[in-house]
Amino acid sequence: MKARTQSMPGAPPRTELAAALAACRSSYLGVAVFTGILNILYLTGSFFMLQVYDRVLPSRSIPTLVALCVLAVTLYGFQAVLDIVRNRVLIRIAGGLAETLDRRVYELVVKLPLRAPTMGGFEPVRDLDQIRSFMSGGGPAALFDLPWMPLYLGICYIFHPMLGLTATIGAIILVIITTITEFKIR
């Protein structure tokens, strides 16, 4: 799938995969918006508990507790709906990407045994399937969630410096473990 497509004059030639991904740019912008809203909604539980400790426990107000519970359940419902919609959009993007590249992959499957008899004839199909699986899985969602990590660490530091330090150390440990795993797998 390393065939080149025509691009704008003066621009470096792009692969067909890059061109297909560029065609999905507006869809990814929508996924980024959904991810931003979801990451704000992920704070629902933390703010709920803060309000319970700050308002409900000192006043022993049952109506306030009920109102906070209804609000939290509603926000969790919106979070669930947005997460489902985001996952469906990612699945559709992956399906559209696979559909765009299917014809080229078919041509490769037909011509590849003639050019490279020792290579498996269905290698391009497996490659496209792996790309589609990644694009419809949790990978892109995790990439969209990654820029929000500094915000969450900042919020942890606002709550208490030791909590922020603990969260930062935990994040660093996760990055180190992920990096070591990546090198070991290679």
Residue 10: the pLDDT is 52
Please give the full DSSP string across the chain, using - where no structure is assigned: ---EE---TTSPPEEHHHHHHHHTHHHHHHHHHHHHHHHHHTTHHHHHHHHIIIIIHHHT-HHHHHHHHHHHHHHHHHHHHHHHHHHHHHHHHHHHHHHHHHHHHHHHHHHHHHH-TTS-TTHHHHHHHHHHHHHHTTHHHHHHHGGGHHHHHHHHHHH-HHHHHHHHHHHHHHHHHHHHHHHHH-
> Taking the model in full, what pTM does it have?
0.69
Give residue 48's pLDDT: 92
- The ranges assigned to domains in the chain are 14-137, 148-186
Whether the predicted pLDDT of 13 surpasses 60: no
pLDDT at residue 68, as a whole number: 94
